């Protein structure tokens, strides 16, 4: 387990360092590291088996590497990179398919089916529950402007953020019981209900 994860993490960190655009203010190396750490935290709280944890952490490392080549549809690129790497590493087909399915589940709107999928989806949006959420919001807003040509006034951005946070639900028990409570604090701090967004 540790050998594969160590090889994957070294490969991804090197790949992202060499290929990610500096204009990616949100989907950068630190985001990948944060998702890996969040996945491990939620996975441990969800009592995953060692095999499930290996699928989860492998998928977490690969899940956003496709941003190095494309913004829209990056999940497909991430899956291609993961598939090629894991085949070359000699992983079993069933393991590879589980990793690819897990990556696919993070595509918005998220559609996780297995517990491992649900954990990665919650880990990917773990930042919604952090006190530093506004910093993440600023970073994603910048990416939307650069890569999607989507510009928002401050009021429009606040409305979109409030709608996203209030409509979003975590999938795992840990997400529902712990992360959801912290996310509610962010919703209150943004005055979403008061402003009737």
Distance (Å, rounded) from C-alpha 159 to C-alpha 154? 9
Distance (Å, rounded) from C-alpha 163 to C-alpha 133? 15
How many angstroms from the chain centroid is the CA of residue 91? 23
pLDDT of residue 197: 43
Architecture of domain 2-189: Orthogonal Bundle (1.10)
Give me the mean pLDDT over the 179-190 stretch: 93
Instruction: Examine the pLDDT at 32 and tell me if it is beyond 80.
Output: yes
Query: Taken in order 133, 60, 22, 140, is the CA torsion positive or negative?
Result: negative
- pLDDT tens digits, residue range 79-106? 999 999 999 999 999 999 999 999 999 9
User: In whole numbers, what is the pLDDT of the chain averaged over residues?
Assistant: 94
pLDDT of residue 193: 60
- pLDDT tens digits, residue range 16-28? 999 999 999 999 9
Whether the Cβ atoms of residue 51 and residue 60 lie closer than 8 Å to each other = no
pLDDT of residue 12: 97
Give me the mean pLDDT over the 127-148 stretch: 94
């Amino acid at each position: 387990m540790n050998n594969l994860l160590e090889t994957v993490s070294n490969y991804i960190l090197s790949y992202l360092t060499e290929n990610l655009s500096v204009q990616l203010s949100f989907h950068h190396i630190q985001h990948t590291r944060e998702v890996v750490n969040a996945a491990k935290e939620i996975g441990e709280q969800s009592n995953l088996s060692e095999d499930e944890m290996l699928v989860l952490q492998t998928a977490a490392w690969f899940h956003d590497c496709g941003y190095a080549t494309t913004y829209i549809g990056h999940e497909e690129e991430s899956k291609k990179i993961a598939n090629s790497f894991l085949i070359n590493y000699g992983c079993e087909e069933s393991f590879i398919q589980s990793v690819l399915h897990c990556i696919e589940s993070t595509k918005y709107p998220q559609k996780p089916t297995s517990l491992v999928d649900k954990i990665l989806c919650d880990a990917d949006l773990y930042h919604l529950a952090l006190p530093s959420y506004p910093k993440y919001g600023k970073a994603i807003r910048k990416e939307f402007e650069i890569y999607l040509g989507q510009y928002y006034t401050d009021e429009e951005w606040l409305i979109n953020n409030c709608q996203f946070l209030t409509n979003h639900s975590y999938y795992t028990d840990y997400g529902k019981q712990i992360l959801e409570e912290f996310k509610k604090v962010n919703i209150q701090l943004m005055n979403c209900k008061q402003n009737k967004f």
